[in-house]
Structure 1
Amino acid sequence: MKRILTLFSALTAVMGLSLNASSMTTIKLLQTSDIHGNFFPYNFITRQPSAGSLARVYGAVKEARQRYGDNVILLDNGDILQGQPTVYYYNFVDTVTPHVASRMMNFMRYDAGNVGNHDVETGRKVLERWSRQCDMPVLGANIIDTATGEPAFTPYKVVEHDGVKVAILGLLTPAIPAWLPEVLWKGLRFDDMEATARKWIPIIKERENPDVIVGVFHAGQRGNTLVKYRENPSLEIAERVPGFDVVLMGHDHRRENKKVVNVEGDTVLVMNPANNGVVLTDITMTFKRDDDGRIIDKHIDGELRHMSDYEPDADFMAKFAPDMAVIKEYVDTPIGEFTSSITTRDAYFGPSEFVDLIHELQLGITGADISFAAPLSYDATIDAGPITVSDMFNLYKYENMLYVMELTGQEVKDYLEEAYSLWSKTMTSPSDHLLLFKEEPTQGDESRSTLKNPSYNFDSAAGIIYEVDVRKPKGEKVTIKSMADGKEFDPARTYRVALNSYRGNGGGELLTKGAGIPHDKLTERIVFATDLDLRHYLTDYIKKQGKVNPRKLNQWRFIPEEWTREAAKRDYKILFPR
């Protein structure tokens, strides 16, 4: 009898565990964001091995599917169509073959993707071709077709696994008009993210009755207003708009994993994997059911998983080996020759061959009086010798177009005052820093996070001779001595100024906050715009020249030099310790 009772107890325990286990459902939610064309474990710009990549991410995805079966949701949060020659080639060179980004996302079986600002920057034709070729829906609830007043992309997607309904709402930062020319997004408008979330949450709840609502926001968490747009309201939405269980962020390339409490006292998980597929957002959602199968409790937690633990997936690499070979051949195409090496490292401390080459090319292409340009890549070098297509992506990182705008001499001066206030500290002694850091840095700090402002807003000028007095406050730093040819510089005269379309549309606020031109008046100042991206024209210019001799124009300087010379040496070691 004791044996029978013991056996009965054991069976009951096993059945109890089985019943208890069957009352629990686990869903995995994985997110990539800001991949920027980093599909392979190889950087086609530097021609070096690359960290992260979709090839490694796919290994983690396969592992999750082996463990959790179909209970895996894979999402992308935008900015996948710009950054590497891989996507540029299929965006603009080979427009007949199905887009490699679409084919890869289909192969990896993404459940949904979101639109990013750099996806819009490729132009509607590219964006819509990519989205049309994807098996997944591409989301964008606040991207409105002005002809219909309805969303131009799918507002939300519902994924259901084991009776658990997960609703996914996609939103994009609305600041597109502050960065991009209308020709790239003509026929669209970008509504405020919070207002759009407040509109769609009740609709989703009523229509779908989901168990979980996920916000996929291509926007950062730090609240800021750019011109009239709230660029990064993700955290504010998580806290202010009830209904979200998870908010997945992107855009600002900053890792985050935390929980916040919204206005109704509910907990919201907020995560951001940063960029390039180096880290994967990995969320575990566990649901407990009652005897009737109804969900009575849920637990959601997440971690940021480093893809360095994964080798590039062999199936992925084999599938897309032909694409990798095509891109390698494309980036190895010769363009011309540089007689000396150039680096952006010098550009923070005075004139540099790197930025001054951009100035010379912009002036040569347009015939403008003055050129504005910044080091778009924080730390880039192009060696002397043969120049190939890959070097052109190093020389000019983004697909900006080239503008010529009409600015008065005073507006030119005020523009530069704004630029150098983002860049240089007001020194009070020779021992001060020359550069404007977030805080007092220490040797060996990660330099990109040390600078207070992004280097792509550190514009200098060519075509004029000027000094920047680091002892003076903003508004008094810049003194323009003359035009580069020695002619008088007149604050009241109108000059033709060459600059990129990001800047010309208000990016960095150097024209609006600095020069004082209202954002809605910027287009009136544009007198010339290229049809294609500036890199295309730079490439053509170098091809025609054949051999290019990069040189410092030496048309501006920091003063007093007895202060700035030593400060530059100290700050260089902080920015570039290796």
Structure 2
Amino acid sequence: MNNNLTKIVILETSDVHGNILPISYANNESAECGISKIATIIERERENNENIVLIDNGDMIQGTPLTYYYAKIDNKKANPIIDVLNYLKYDAGVIGNHEFNYGRKILDNAIKQSEFPWLSANILAKATNEPFCGKPYVIKEFSTGVRVGILGLTTKYIPNWENPDIISDLNFLDVVEAAKKWIEILKQDEKVDLVIVSYHGGFERNLQTGEVGEKLTGENQAYQLCMEVEGIDVLLTGHQHRYIENKIINGVVVVQPGSGAKAIGRVEVSLEKHNSKWRVVEKFSNLIYCDGEQSDKKIEDIVEEVENDTQVWLDTSIGKINGDMKVHDYFQIRIKDSALIEFINRVQMDSSGAEISNTALFDNNSKGFSSKVTMRDIVSNYIYPNTLKVIEVLGEDIKAALEKSASYFEIYDGEGIKMNPKFEVPKPQHYNYDMWEGIEYDINISRTFGHRITKLNYLGKPMELNKKYHVVMNNYRAGGGGDFYMFKDKPVMKDIPIDMSELIANYILARGTIEATVNENWKVIHD
């Protein structure tokens, strides 16, 4: 045995979004995902490797009906998600943007319950100017004497999405500047041999060419971290839900394990002792998918009670739909008005009093509503814990937003309507295509980008571009999320701090039966 050589294996989960069990809540069918399956991989890695670092990279405590039920219906007991992470003996967790979605009480209690540190080097409490959850980094030292520094960073773009009341006491600093500061401390003061940066953010540039792949808003800065910050050995990433492995950028090995606990990121680092100092001699990354893995029964037991309660809650019938409100074709939903989208917009308008509304079909998993509606149907179709805001905008802002959504389609080539690939790669962004109620408009995809809205009426007359209108939309969009900058910092006329799933349920409960209607106020056309 060579005591001058050692190997460290780093395991990363990211963007799990509450997927603890290997099921799809939309239909309760089994699925190749879940921390209970990932746990089997973790256990195998621990059996085969002496030196393991296990990190969650953020967006863990929100995202499934189980997490919603715990956060919104019954949170008197300990958070089952944290119980699972404690059982798996995580070394650290990083704050993701969705950690704030259920409010600070849920997040603060989760941090207190955790038997591992949560890291936030660039999220500071305004009152103290210190990391709000306690630590910017943690150090793990192995029996070989190797000291590993783990620095936690979070996308600084959170104020563009989150309800201001939830984060009013926090400052979100630039991750590159924070990384430079703390890595110097890790190297100079803490004398670490290996620096791991766990960043809840993704890549703003092409990993091969370095070309800009999206607008440089600061939401994703992983490439910049690799190129501008000295001393990073390993960069764990997330947020974009991409599957990235076997990549080294400017000497930094990177990995990203997708979303929904379908895979775990793995980085293997070999170090050699030279003149009493350890140095990295080899490193690589790969992904391990949980397809075919056994589910850890202990984890199933940990969440059994809240899971059973969630299932009962999900299958409670709350009303009926008279007519067709199902999704038969995802693309057709986005090229002409439909009963489902019209219904969601009408719920928003009824809840807010606004006469104009927009919403999106967030992904290609929504099934719509059948004749009997349960809570399972609602949370399966409206997957985010969004609240609503009514903001005051100009007619020209509405037109600009419509033009941005209109870029969802490629320029018509005579062979059918096609989706712009930019809304699919590097990750699906169907949630950034809005459909409106309360106005009448046409999207002509024969026209160039920015000149596609050929009809825009309000109450039967052309909309006045310099006139003010009140529009209801989800809090993500109202803050300019999705690069809808025309909405950012607009006056908020009304804030409805109730989750949309609850508003939809209340709307149905109050009426009993909902008529599926389509007024055909908008459509996609071509010359």
Normalised to the residue count of structure 1, the TM-score between the two structures is 0.84
SS in 1 for 2:48: helix
- The residue number in structure 2 matching 1:493 is 467
Q: Does 1:471 align with 2:446?
A: yes
Contact 2:391 2:493 in 1 (8 A): yes
- The residue number in structure 2 matching 1:188 is 170
Hey, what's the Cα distance between the residues in 1 that align with 2:213 and 2:98? 19
SS in 2 for 1:308: coil
Q: Does 1:253 align with 2:234?
A: no
Q: How many Å apart are 1:299 and its aligned residue?
A: 2.7
SS in 2 for 1:359: helix
Q: How many Å apart are 1:389 and its aligned residue?
A: 1.2
Hey, what's the Cα distance between the residues in 2 that align with 1:95 and 1:400? 19
Deviations 1:379-403 (A, max 9, x none): 3103412211111112211111111
Q: How many Å apart are 1:50 and its aligned residue?
A: 2.1
Q: How many Å apart are 1:338 and its aligned residue?
A: 2.1
Q: How many Å apart are 1:93 and its aligned residue?
A: 1.7
- The residue number in structure 1 matching 2:303 is 320
Contact 1:192 1:229 in 2 (8 A): no
Closer/same/farther in 2, CA of residues 469 and 302 from structure 1, 3 Å limit? closer
- The residue number in structure 1 matching 2:260 is 276
> What are the equivalent positions in structure 2 for 1:322-401 lying under 5 Å apart?
322-339=305-322, 340-343=324-327, 345=330, 346-401=332-387
Q: How many Å apart are 1:64 and its aligned residue?
A: 1.8
Q: Does 1:170 align with 2:145?
A: no
Deviations 1:182-218 (A, max 9, x none): 1121100110010100111111112211111000000
1:431 pairs with 379, 393, 415, which one? Answer: 415
Hey, what's the Cα distance between the residues in 2 that align with 1:192 and 1:430? 46
Give the RMSD, CA atoms, in angstroms. 2.3
The residue identity in structure 1 corresponding to 2:373 is I
- The residue number in structure 1 matching 2:402 is 416
Q: Does 1:81 align with 2:61?
A: yes
Q: How many Å apart are 1:277 and its aligned residue?
A: 1.3
Contact 1:419 1:459 in 2 (8 A): yes
Closer/same/farther in 2, CA of residues 488 and 115 from structure 1, 3 Å limit? same
1:124 pairs with 66, 88, 104, which one? Answer: 104
Contact 1:167 1:214 in 2 (8 A): yes
Q: Work out the number of aligned pairs and report it.
A: 516
Q: Does 1:63 align with 2:54?
A: no
Contact 1:225 1:231 in 2 (8 A): no
- The residue number in structure 2 matching 1:286 is 270
Closer/same/farther in 2, CA of residues 330 and 207 from structure 1, 3 Å limit? farther
- The residue number in structure 2 matching 1:574 is none
Q: Does 1:461 align with 2:436?
A: yes
Q: Does 1:505 align with 2:479?
A: yes
Q: How many Å apart are 1:308 and its aligned residue?
A: 0.9
SS in 1 for 2:291: helix
Hey, what's the Cα distance between the residues in 1 that align with 2:101 and 2:154? 13
Contact 1:436 1:452 in 2 (8 A): no
- The residue number in structure 2 matching 1:156 is 137
The residue identity in structure 1 corresponding to 2:31 is S
Closer/same/farther in 2, CA of residues 189 and 494 from structure 1, 3 Å limit? same
Q: Does 1:222 align with 2:204?
A: yes
Hey, what's the Cα distance between the residues in 1 that align with 2:420 and 2:321? 32
Contact 2:204 2:213 in 1 (8 A): no
The residue identity in structure 1 corresponding to 2:514 is V
Contact 1:30 1:75 in 2 (8 A): yes
- The residue number in structure 2 matching 1:8 is none
Q: How many Å apart are 1:376 and its aligned residue?
A: 1.3
Hey, what's the Cα distance between the residues in 1 that align with 2:288 and 2:347? 43
Hey, what's the Cα distance between the residues in 2 that align with 1:504 and 1:140? 26
SS in 2 for 1:131: helix
Q: How many Å apart are 1:159 and its aligned residue?
A: 0.9
Hey, what's the Cα distance between the residues in 1 that align with 2:362 and 2:334? 12
SS in 2 for 1:472: coil
Identity of aligned residues (%): 28
Report the structure number with the largest CA radius of gyration.
1
Normalised to the residue count of structure 2, the TM-score between the two structures is 0.92
| Bigger fraction of residues in helix | 1
Q: Does 1:146 align with 2:126?
A: yes
Contact 2:204 2:215 in 1 (8 A): no
Deviations 1:472-506 (A, max 9, x none): 2234321345335x466433332221111111111
Deviations 1:63-111 (A, max 9, x none): 1222234x22111000012210111122222221111111111011111
Q: Which region of structure 1 is more displaced relative to structure 2, 321-330 or 384-393?
A: 321-330
- The residue number in structure 1 matching 2:524 is 558
Q: How many Å apart are 1:24 and its aligned residue?
A: 3.2
Q: Does 1:211 align with 2:211?
A: no
- The residue number in structure 1 matching 2:83 is 103
The residue identity in structure 2 corresponding to 1:472 is R
Q: How many Å apart are 1:229 and its aligned residue?
A: 4.3
- The residue number in structure 1 matching 2:209 is none
Unmatched segments (≥5 aa) in structure 2: 206-211
Hey, what's the Cα distance between the residues in 2 that align with 1:78 and 1:481? 41
> What are the equivalent positions in structure 2 for 1:435-450 lying under 5 Å apart?
435-438=419-422, 449=424
Q: How many Å apart are 1:470 and its aligned residue?
A: 1.8
Contact 2:269 2:280 in 1 (8 A): no
The residue identity in structure 2 corresponding to 1:550 is A
- The residue number in structure 2 matching 1:302 is 285
Hey, what's the Cα distance between the residues in 1 that align with 2:60 and 2:514? 33
